[in-house]
Structure 1
């Protein structure tokens, strides 16, 4: 079993090993395969197809499996590497160590949002964007969106999600009640467009705002924290399980569009039940 650490506690050596493994996955083509997978399963609820990665109850178990598969590839290159997590309720500065030259690099320049610092800067020659709808071949960010500011989620916003004892509810989409939608971030007060997970994507901006968000390596640190928050919710509400436990009934508009507890999640043929815990695989250092 390995440990996922808070990124603020990483040593310079750990940062270097993590970024080196990510860069090697990019070089050998594995990284872009993961970007394509995320994009394929980014299905909005206005579409008629199966929603497995987003706007649906399987948001948490699907991403848990997705991160574990990515981590397997990292650890095959360097067994000492794991995905760190970024607590975006406490580490909120666009000039924090997360965005330093020796780790993920900083925000994009004002003219075209191109990231110019760190190991994933296009000018370094090792990080060319090949998957996505943008024509830019360079990584883009716009931390905090200064021209139309957005803030990172507060501890109170996060607590608002964790306090909800219901995992998810019909119609199991971006309008649903429950913890999943509150943390994924579609359920927000009318004065706001996003909360929690979604708000973080918007705060980072650039490539993090669409289905090809994993083009930005900060994606993995963001979702490792989301995964940890699912743990916290489970501990807070030990009698509240994954919903729906069974598939929607015939005639329900959501039948065939959402994943029930024991149904397989593509592309791995793994059910949400099999991903309800991660004990024996990894642990979080908090």
Structure 2
């Protein structure tokens, strides 16, 4: 009998603190817990700059360190239901995220949001920095992309059963994606147009033109991944959210660099036409005691954000293990899962027809004159799919 007890105790000591497989056992996030966690992260020291590379340019060890930290946060139940989902819940709560979308506070808000998330990950590994997912290198056919392989982000159709987030359970249900049913990746022209502007109001809702609206372009990527990533209430529960927003923050930093070159001080560049009062420069961010304008501080440019661009390549070896070099464009691209016969140029008339149909379908879905033109539209701004609790 004593031997059996010893075995049971030993087994319990090896059991993870949170079972990712059983949604019925997961507590729902509580907003006061999440806010307390954010305040703790605010007080934590800054562990040096964030050296951001494209995720596919990292070696296996460096990428694994990042995802190990994410999984450790997912398993850490010191905050309910776990540290990862408690922090992600801030993006879901309708009071906390009022200034996060639909106006010029979008970029400064998310800059702070991912900065604190990186602080959270550094609780588990002080030496890591978030990597970014550059969707301008994605192929026309989503299934050709190395992004959705088990070595990287896992499958993009249905419940996620491969990759580092396999079998994750979120506070809603199992992690799932429904890729390429709506939306699209960003492209070089999107980024070029955004960076051709000189004022925050020219790239932000409500006044930005459709082709220069960085939030709109970012929204298309959310719906391109779909599933949990495609709804504002749940998007941050999918870890691809953080890699996507790290890329958007790198675009923001490029934009700020160009502003300064042109004599514009980013922190003094808040548009008078900012729409909802939640997007006013001194409106509360609802994270700690921060105001929206605090996300535009030069502190981030001087001390934190270091984005390493992809190389202007001439050889495949310059593009890491998961991309190849398009020598005509001198650009790394991620179509390494393309079937060999198509990679060699053996396109059939059927392939061309299907490709044309797919392009036309995405063009129709993303028509800026439709009701869903501003990105997630009816999907990203649909009513809450679960009730929030203000109890602590």
Q: TM-score, normalising length from structure 1?
A: 0.76
- Point out where structure 2 has 5 or more consecutive residues left out of the alignment: 1-47, 77-81, 310-392
Q: Summarize the alignment of residues 96-107 of structure 1 with structure 2, pairs less than 5 Å apart.
A: 96-107=145-156
The answer to whether the aligner puts 1:32 opposite 2:80 as a matched pair is: no
Q: Using the alignment, how far apart are the partners of 2:152 and 2:258 within structure 1?
A: 33
Q: Summarize the alignment of residues 118-157 of structure 1 with structure 2, pairs less than 5 Å apart.
A: 118-122=163-167, 127-131=168-172, 137-145=173-181, 150-157=183-190
Q: CA deviation at 1:69?
A: 0.8
The answer to whether the aligner puts 1:259 opposite 2:274 as a matched pair is: no
Q: Using the alignment, how far apart are the partners of 1:159 and 1:95 within structure 2?
A: 25
Conserved in 2, the CA contact under 8 Å of 1:168 and 1:242?
no
Conserved in 1, the CA contact under 8 Å of 2:55 and 2:133?
yes
Q: CA deviation at 1:51?
A: 3.0
Q: CA deviation at 1:150?
A: 4.2
The answer to whether the aligner puts 1:18 opposite 2:66 as a matched pair is: yes
The answer to whether the aligner puts 1:182 opposite 2:223 as a matched pair is: no
2:227 maps to which of 200, 206, 212: 206
2:105 alignment counterpart: 58
- Point out where structure 1 has 5 or more consecutive residues left out of the alignment: 44-49, 132-136, 186-195
Q: Using the alignment, how far apart are the partners of 2:285 and 2:109 within structure 1?
A: 7
1:68 maps to which of 108, 115, 135: 115
CA offsets 1:131-181 (integer angstroms, 9 cap, x no match):
4xxxxx211112222xxx643122112222222223117xx9844226997
Task: Quote the RMSD (CA, aligned, Å).
Answer: 2.8
Find the structure with the greater CA-based Rg. Answer: 2
Q: After alignment, is 176-185 or 207-216 more displaced? A: 176-185
For this pair of structures, how many residues does the alignment match? 247
CA offsets 1:64-86 (integer angstroms, 9 cap, x no match):
11111111111110112221001
Q: Using the alignment, how far apart are the partners of 1:100 and 1:259 within structure 2?
A: 42
**Per the alignment, do residues 179 and 230 of structure 1 end up closer, same or farther by CA in structure 2, a change over 3 Å counting?**
farther
Whichever structure has more helix as a proportion of its residues is: 2
Conserved in 2, the CA contact under 8 Å of 1:162 and 1:179?
no
Moved over 6 A (4+): 178-181
Q: Secondary structure at the match of 1:257?
A: helix
Q: TM-score, normalising length from structure 2?
A: 0.57
